[in-house]
Structure 1
C-alpha cells in the first residue's frame, strides 16, 4: 500500500503535465489563428484566457494537492522543473499571459479608459514579478530551465514598459507641473524598459535551445509603436514648458492594484478502484515469485 501512496501523486503530476501541454497547444492555435486571420477575434481571445486560467488551476492543484502528498525523499529527488517554485512560476505565468490578452482587448476597445489599461498593465507586472521571484534562486542550470528563467525576465521587463507607459499618460493628464514632471519620468522609464525588453528577448532567443525572434504582435506590437513616439513627443513638450529641475530623474512608483485573475478550481478525480486491484494483484505476484526463488 505504501507504493500506492508513492505512485498516485506521481501519476497525478504526469496527468497534470499532459493536460498543460494540451491546453498550451490549444491556446497557441487560437492565438495564431487570430494572427493569420489578420485580426484578433474577440471570442478566440476570451477562449485563450479561459485556457490560461485552466492551466493555472492545474498548476495550483499540483502545488497544493499533489506535491504535499509526496514523501519528502521523493520530493527532494524530483527534477528541478517539477520543483514547487517552478510550478508556482508557471501558474503565475499563465495568469500573466491571461492579463496580457485582456490588455490587448482593452487596447482594441473604444470603451476602455486609460485607467483600465493602466490597471491591467500594472497587474501584469505583479504576476511576472512574482513568477520571477519563485524561480530566482532555483538551480535551473539545464538549457530549458535557464531559458525559462530568461523568458520570465523578458516578460517582466516588457510588462514594466507597458505599465509605466500608461502610468505616464495618466499623470500627463494632470494640471500641475509636478504631475507633468512625473509623467515625463514615467514615460522615459517606459522607453528604457522597452529597449531593455528587446535585449532580454535577444538573450532568451540566443540561449540554448536556440529560438527565433518572433514578430511583434498583440499588446507589444501596439506598444512598440506608441512608447517611443509618445515618449519623445511628451518629453519634448514638457521640457519646453518647464525647467529641468521640474523633471523627475527617477520614475514614480507604479500603483499597486489587487490581482483580479485567479486560477480555476481543479480537483483531481478519485483513484479508480481498479488501480488498487491491479496494484494488489501485481504485488501478490511479485511476493509469490520472491518466495518461490527462496
Structure 2
C-alpha cells in the first residue's frame, strides 16, 4: 500500500516568494524537485550493494541538477553546461538514465517499498513537500518533471531572437517546427502518466497525491501542450500562401476546444498558491486569446457568403473577435502581474498578425453595421463557432525496458518478478 507524510510550514512562503521568472510563451508551473534520500540506510541488505549504490548515484545526480535548475531564471537556462548542451538537456538525460533502474524497483521489489520514502518539493500544492513510501510516486514524479522540462525547452525555442541585422525579433520556422514535436512529447509523458501510472495507486493513496500530480492538473497541462502546438501550426499556416482561410479557421477552432477543455479541467482544483493561481490565469488568458483568431477567421468565411444574413453574421463575428482581443489584453496583464512576475516577449505569430489586421478588417466591417452594442449583447449575438475533430494527439510514450542489472538481482535473490 505505502504510507504518506506531508509537511506544511512557513518555509514554503520563503521558497515561493514572488520573483520575476522572465519572458513566458509557454507556462510551466515551477519544477517539482526531489529531496535527497539514503537508499543504503533505508534498504539495508534488501538489495545488492552495487544496485543500491547505482540507484543512489542516479537519484543524487537528479537532486543536485534539479535543485540548481529550479533556482535559475528561465532566460539564463540558455547557457550551456561545461559538459556541452544545456542544463535542461542534461537533467532530462539524468531522468531517462534513472527511470529504467527505478522501474525495476517499482515492478520487482514490492516488499521493500515500505522501507523507502520518496520526498519531493511541490509547486502548486499548499503542502510544501510530499513524501510517500511508494515507488510509483517516484515514477510519476519523474515523468512529471520530464514533461515540465520539455515545456521549458519549448518556451526557450519560442522566445524571439534578434537577427544579426537587428531589424526585428523573430522565431525561426525551424524552432517553431521543433517546438511542436516537443509539445507532443510533453503531452505524451503526461497522457501516459494519467493512463498507466496513476492506476498503479490504490484509491486511498491516490487521494493523498499533491495537487501538482492530480489527474486534472496533469490533464490540463497535457491539453495546454496540445493547444500551444496548434497555435504554432496556425501561425505557420498564416505565413503560408498555400493555407486557405478554411484551414486557418479549423486550426483556430481546434485551439479554442483544447483551451476550453483545459479551463474546465483546472477550475475544479483548489490551486490557491502563487504558481497555482498563475496557472489558472494563464489558461484563462489563452482561452480568451484563442477565441480572437477563431471568430476572426469564422467572420472571414461568413463574409464570403452572398446573403445579407451571412454578411450580418460576419460583422457580428468580427465584432466578437474585437471584444475578445480587448479581453485577452486584460487577461494577459492579470497573468503577468500575478506573482511570480512575468512578461511577454516581443509579439509574434498568430496574435501579431491579428493585431495588425484588426484595424483594417474587423473595425471597418463593424463600422459598416453601425451597431454600438454592449459587450454582453455582442457575446449573445456572436454566431456559434463550428466544431472540428481534434487533430493533434499526444506522442505515444512507453516505458523503457527495465535495466538489465535487475536480471542479476532477481536471479541472486528471492525477489519475485512481476514482468
- Give the TM-score normalised by structure 2: 0.61
Output the CA distance in 1 between the equivalents of 2:406 and 2:280.
38
Correspondence 1:36 to 2:162: yes
C-alpha deviation, 1:57, in angstroms: 0.3
Gaps of 5+ in 2: 1-109, 115-132, 164-168, 372-377
- 1:168-204 alpha-carbon deviations (Å, 9 max, x no partner): 0111111110000000110000000010001111111
CA contact (8 A) 2:235 2:349 kept: yes
Q: 1:220 aligns with which of 328, 334, 351?
A: 351
Q: 1:187 aligns with which of 275, 297, 318?
A: 318
Answer 1 or 2: which has greater strand percent.
2
Q: Tell me how large the CA RMSD over aligned residues is.
A: 2.7
Structure 1's 185 and 269: CA in aligned 2 closer, same or farther, altered over 3 A? same
C-alpha deviation, 1:236, in angstroms: 2.4
Instruction: Tell me whether 61-70 or 218-227 shows the greater mean CA deviation.
Output: 218-227
Counterpart for residue 20 of structure 1: 147
After the TM superposition, list the runs of 4 or more consecutive aligned residues in structure 1 that deviate by more than 4 angstroms: 273-279
Q: Report SS of the residue matched to 1:103.
A: helix
Counterpart for residue 197 of structure 2: 66
Output the CA distance in 1 between the equivalents of 2:328 and 2:220.
19
Answer 1 or 2: which has greater helix percent.
1
CA contact (8 A) 2:170 2:348 kept: no
Output the CA distance in 2 between the equivalents of 1:193 and 1:42.
28
The count of residues paired between Structure 1 and Structure 2 equals 277
Output the CA distance in 1 between the equivalents of 2:152 and 2:211.
23
Instruction: Tell me whether 135-144 or 13-22 shows the greater mean CA deviation.
Output: 13-22
Output the CA distance in 2 between the equivalents of 1:55 and 1:36.
27
Output the CA distance in 1 between the equivalents of 2:339 and 2:112.
38
C-alpha deviation, 1:10, in angstroms: 1.6
Structure 1's 277 and 197: CA in aligned 2 closer, same or farther, altered over 3 A? farther
- Give the TM-score normalised by structure 1: 0.86
1:200-239 counterparts in 2 under 5 A? 200-239=331-370
CA contact (8 A) 1:184 1:248 kept: no
Gaps of 5+ in 1: 241-246, 285-294
- 1:98-147 alpha-carbon deviations (Å, 9 max, x no partner): 00000000000011110000000000000000000111111111111111
1:234-249 counterparts in 2 under 5 A? 234-239=365-370
Correspondence 1:92 to 2:227: no
